[in-house]
Structure 1
Amino acid sequence: MALETTPICDFGTPAPDFRLPATDGATYARDDIAGPQGLLVMFICNHCPYVKAVADRLVRDGRALQALGIGVAAICANDAASHPEDSFEKMAEFAAAHCFPFPYLHDESQAVARAYGAVCTPDFFGYDAGLGLQYRGRLDASGPRPGSPDLRRDLFEAMKGVVETGRGPAEQIPSMGCSIKWKAA
């Protein structure tokens, strides 16, 4: 497990477009998912201990952000040949087991992950209503083990602020997790 952290938020960077298949059988484009108040794109996978530790919080905060008008999607871009636990079939099982209220998309070519500059799982990209980047930080202070239920909800609070002010926080703590499992060149 190679450990990575996300780079500093490059405020205003536009959300790259995409069109990807989801575990619910539909295909979604970026604009199908974006809400009137913004968009959250989460790069996750099934096998990463960091993602497993926060899966229930991803669901909790995803639902809360959707209620604020932010569209939410999760994307798995890991190479399933080298990591079979991250196959499309296993993604569907993971989404069902955790009752994802948002689409779980498969980036088999890894082109979307590269366009976003994703580096780890989980990796969060929070956009404002105009689809300009406002948040590139962590979910909360938990790591590869579940944290206490009273941890500050960094991602939720940041995106709530984006809805209220149009701007993400100036100070953001990077997300940390397993590296994206890139296909061999």
Structure 2
Amino acid sequence: MAAIPPVCDFGWKAPDFELPATDGKTYKLSDIAGPKGTLIMFICNHCPYVVAVRDRILRDARDLQAIGIGVAAISANDAESYPEDSFEKMTELATRENFPFPYLYDADQSVARAYDAACTPDFFGFNSVLELQYRGRLDASRRETGPADLRRDLFEAMRQVAETGKGPEDQIPSMGCSIKWKAA
């Protein structure tokens, strides 16, 4: 089922976290934060929306890191119901695809709840003082990869954040599969 996150709540402060990563380390938000901003992405292994743009996510992450943006991805899906999103499968994917950022596992879903993550992918772009400046889409792709010449909405917004500390006023929300929450 497709989900769409709310619009950007400019200035909202990034909640801290401490999560294990597929590289065997544990990361806090402060370990990821970049000097010019931070991008926290909620993704997963199996979502067709993520799969369709995974190469673009990796490209944009590398390009953003090169301009001083710290990047991390978090998977919070219920791995019991969605075994493809297990920590073991996350590790396999991150290794195979050479993720240039930490891929973190939110097993108890507390971080996804603190961020009010709605879907995969869900992008949270913060400025250098960890105030939210972007909560929009990667590009105009949906369940299928869009044309190669699509505007790089996420990259352009985060470049603006790196240069000015402020995100664009007009943002188009991301769209993706809903977070797979555990039964209460």
Post-superposition CA distance 1:69-97 (Å, at most 9, x none):
01000000000000000000000111122
Matched, 1:129 2:128: yes
Distance 1:134 1:13 in 2: 8
- Corresponding position of 2:153: 154
Distance 1:97 1:154 in 2: 26
The aligned amino acid for 2:36 is Q
Q: Is the 8 A contact 1:62 1:102 kept in 2?
A: yes
Q: Is the 8 A contact 1:50 1:122 kept in 2?
A: yes
Distance 1:96 1:158 in 2: 28
RMSD: 0.5
Distance 1:152 1:134 in 2: 18
Runs (5+) with no aligned partner, structure 2: none
- Corresponding position of 1:164: 163
The alpha carbon displacement at 1:115 in A equals 0.2
- Corresponding position of 1:180: 179
The aligned amino acid for 2:172 is I
Post-superposition CA distance 1:127-147 (Å, at most 9, x none):
000000000000000011111
Distance 2:96 2:33 in 1: 24
Post-superposition CA distance 1:89-143 (Å, at most 9, x none):
0001111222110000000000000000100000000000000000000000001
- Corresponding position of 1:48: 47
Q: Structure 1-normalised TM-score?
A: 0.98
Q: Is the 8 A contact 1:143 1:176 kept in 2?
A: yes
- Corresponding position of 1:5: 4
- Corresponding position of 1:36: 35
- Corresponding position of 1:99: 98
- Corresponding position of 2:17: 18
Identity of aligned residues (%): 70
Equivalenced residue count is: 184
- Corresponding position of 1:81: 80
Distance 2:162 2:179 in 1: 29
Equivalent position SS for 2:124: strand
- Corresponding position of 1:58: 57
Post-superposition CA distance 1:43-91 (Å, at most 9, x none):
0000000000011011100001001101000000000000000000000
Equivalent position SS for 1:20: strand
Distance 2:36 2:164 in 1: 11
Equivalent position SS for 1:125: strand
Q: Is the 8 A contact 1:55 1:98 kept in 2?
A: no
Runs (5+) with no aligned partner, structure 1: none
The alpha carbon displacement at 1:170 in A equals 0.3
Q: Structure 2-normalised TM-score?
A: 0.99
Q: Is the 8 A contact 1:38 1:127 kept in 2?
A: yes
Distance 2:97 2:59 in 1: 10
